[in-house]
Amino acid sequence: TGRSPRAAAFLAAALAVCGLLASCAPEDGGVRGTPGASGLRDPYFPKLGNGGYDVGHYALDLAFDPATGRLDGTARITARATQDLSALNLDLSGLTVEGAAVDGEEAAVNRAGDELTLRPRDEVPRGAGFTVTVDYSGVPEPLTDADGSTEGWMNTSGGAVAVGEPAGSTTWFPGNHHPSDKATYEIALTVPSGLQALSNGVRVSSAAAPGGRTRTVWRSSEPMASYLATVMIGRYETTTGTALGTVPVLTAADPALAASTAPLRAELPTVLARQQDRFGPYPFGAAGAVVTTDGLLGYALETQTRPVFPAGSFDRTTLVHELAHQWFGNSVTPESWRDIWLNEGFATYAEWLYAEEYGSVPARRSFEAAFADEDNWAFPPADPPAAENLFDPPVYQRGAMVLHKLRETVGDEVFDGLLRGWAAGHRHGNASTEDFTAYAEAVAGRDLAGVWDVWLYGKDRPERP
Ligand code: ARG
Ligand code: ZN
């Protein structure tokens, strides 16, 4: 269709302005969109994630050679532009990018630290769906996060473990690595036959590949934040079963730990059933747990559908905690890293509830113990002072205290409905602290500033618990 006179006049004006401004004058002189932002201005990690587009799906095809530690990957990312895009960024730490394409056409690639900029030949118009393909390889390196933990892709003797919150996923695939951009995933792992290659979700196929290898494909059909993606390659003993009537369960353990961890792994369906009674429908189509001996992994993580545990932290309380995250954190995901107490406070309170119902320790007693512990009063849970504090005791314990005070204020019945309603209302989405306080007040039918001011935002320990 022809251009209207007004559009033509506008175009002429825009060209004239662009002629004066270097910032909007691309080499070829045409009128172009703007580059997507290189970060989402998260209060703790301003460069995590990228602006201008929304990822819908990641298809990762990864080949790993344990003998050399080398990873060969292709990431196919399906996204939608949220602005006219002349260029877009992906987060990737380490590794070498061999090439990239947007909608099948080779794109110019620029690398500056952990930011990868792709400039497609043609601008992607706002609202359009597009596909990015990135070929990359190298020996992945884990990263040290703000609190000193090692995370990301960790090569082990004879395999690898990839896990990391908040930013470890940037070490093994390019993407929009901020929790606010959730997507579905398909992760294909090609490794020497005889090794296990485990990941999130449901195993959809496993087939022989050239070079004595096997290619296994895992599918996560429900949206997942990138920090919850995981890969475990190596020798594992696996057990399969069913939970909640229809959900396939796969647990795995390092062979040396298989026998000692079998009883607790066998309890997983019971824990899930009890939590489903409490929190509402389990949000995912698969479940499980993996126990690894890898020395580098310093914490258990609620990796989606298949939490991972270092050998020393596979106990019932931690299992309850990581499984509770499937509702609180994985299905209802923080809008930004400032909202991390919505994960850790809820998962900790899930421990207290479990102990109350099945271990005869009243939640009030857990609350009082947490109240008495000096470590929990370093800062308010809604406002960790820095990235290195995101997983400090106040986030967990004071976060749980907020929920207990809320429960004491609104009563058990309203509180129960509130937990289920929160999980249901933001299922497979994102939510912030403000969303939660507004929601709780709506359900309670009254102002709850008295709870928030003291327990969620208050700096000091009050007189009495
Ligand atoms: N979310 C994990 C848990 O279940 C802890 C992650 C800790 N991460 C870190 N960088 N320290 O508690
Ligand atoms: Zn946790």
CA pair distance 344, 328, nearest whole angstrom? 8
Cα dihedral 9, 13, 18, 21, rounded to 10, equals: -170
DSSP class of 427: T
- Picking from 5, 32, 6, the residue whose alpha carbon sits closest to that of residue 17 is 32
- How many Å apart are CA 357 and CA 165, to the nearest integer? 30
Q: In this predicted structure, what is the pLDDT of residue 271?
A: 98
Residues less than 5 Å from ion ligand 2, measured at CB: 344, 347
- The residues facing 154 across adjacent strands are 161
326 close to ligand 1 (CB < 6 Angstrom): no
Can you give the three-state secondary structure of 312-360, one letter per residue? HHCCHHHHHHHHHCCCECCCEEECCHHHHHHHHHHHHHHHHHHHHHHCC
Q: How far apart (Å, rounded) are the C-alpha atoms in residues 363 and 376?
A: 17
Cβ contact 96:73 at 8 Å: no
Task: Tell whether ligand 1 has an atom less than 6 A from the beta carbon of residue 48.
Answer: no
The pLDDT of residue 157:
86
- Ligand 2 centroid–CA 323 distance in Å is 9
Kind and range of the H or E run holding 431 = strand 429-431
For 18, the token pair is 């662009």
Supply 145's token pair: 């996060």
Q: Which atom of ligand 1 is nearest to the CA of 329?
A: 1
Return the residue whose CA atom lies nearest to atom 1 of ligand 1. 301
How far, rounded to the nearest angstrom, does the alpha carbon of residue 46 sit from its chain's CA centroid?
16
Ligand 1, atom 3: closest residue by C-alpha = 301
Are 438 and 446 spatial neighbours (Cβ–Cβ below 8 Å)? no
What distance in angstroms lies between residue 258's CA and the mean position of ligand 2's atoms? 24
| CB distance 328 to ligand 1 below 6 Å | no
pLDDT at residue 31 in the model: 54
Q: List the chain pLDDT tens, one digit each, 465 residues.
A: 333 444 444 444 444 444 344 344 444 444 568 999 999 999 999 999 999 999 999 999 999 999 999 999 999 999 999 999 999 999 999 999 999 999 999 999 999 999 999 999 999 999 999 999 999 999 999 999 999 999 999 999 899 999 999 999 999 999 999 999 999 999 999 999 999 999 999 999 999 999 999 999 999 999 999 999 999 999 999 999 999 999 999 999 999 999 999 999 999 999 999 999 999 999 999 999 999 987 788 999 999 999 999 989 999 999 999 999 999 999 999 999 999 999 999 999 999 999 999 999 999 999 999 999 999 999 999 999 999 999 999 999 999 999 999 999 999 999 999 999 999 999 999 999 999 999 999 999 999 999 999 999 999 999 999
Cα 53 to ligand 1 centroid, rounded to whole Å: 28
Q: Is residue 230 within 8 Å of 211, Cβ to Cβ?
A: no
C-alpha 413: how far from its chain's center? 31
DSSP label of 389? G
Task: Report whether residue 322 contacts ligand 1, using a CB cutoff of 6 Å.
Answer: yes
Closest ligand 1 atom to 146 CA? 10
Residue 123 CA, ligand 1 centroid: distance in Å: 39
Helix, coil or strand: residue 146: coil
CA–centroid distance, residue 175 to ligand 1 (Å) = 21
Q: Which of 145, 227, 301, 343 to mutate to test the pocket of ligand 1 (most atoms within 8 A of CB)?
A: 301
Atom 8 in ligand 1: residue holding the nearest Cα: 165
Q: What ipTM was predicted for this assembly?
A: 0.98
Q: What is the pTM of this model?
A: 0.93
Sheet holding 237-243, edge to edge: 237-243, 247-253, 287-292, 308-310
Which residues, including other chains, have CB under 8 Å from residue 85's CB and lie 6 or more apart?
Answer: 33, 34, 35, 36, 52, 53, 120, 123, 124, 125, 126
Q: Which two tokens stand for residue 201?
A: 């979700």
- Mutate-to-test residue for ligand 1 from 391, 392, 395, highest number of ligand atoms within 8 A of CB: 391
Q: How close is the Cα of 282 to the center of ligand 1, in Å?
A: 21
Q: Is 149 in the pocket of ligand 1 (CB under 6 A)?
A: yes
pLDDT at residue number 10: 44
